[in-house]
Amino acid sequence: MLLGLGSIETALPYWLCIISTIGCIGYGIKNWNNSGTPDTVNIESLVQEGTDN
């Protein structure tokens, strides 16, 4: 578990880096197409507004 590292103080973050990245990958895959609740504002209209400037 320590992977040859000298203490839990260094082995723990080593593992946590890998585990948290795997967790983030899992989160990304699980929510790959999840857009959440639709926006109440239309982005197109804001972009159009900006064009006028």
Binding site for another protein (CB under 8 A): 3-7, 9-10, 13-14, 16-18, 20-21, 23-25, 27-29, 31-37, 39-41, 43, 46-47, 49-53
CB of 1 to another protein, least distance (A): 11
CB of 31 to another protein, least distance (A): 4
Per the CB < 8 A criterion, the answer to whether 11 and 1 are in contact is: yes
Among candidates 3, 34, 30, which has minimal Cα distance to 16? Answer: 3
CA distance 21 to 30: 14
CB of 32 to another protein, least distance (A): 6
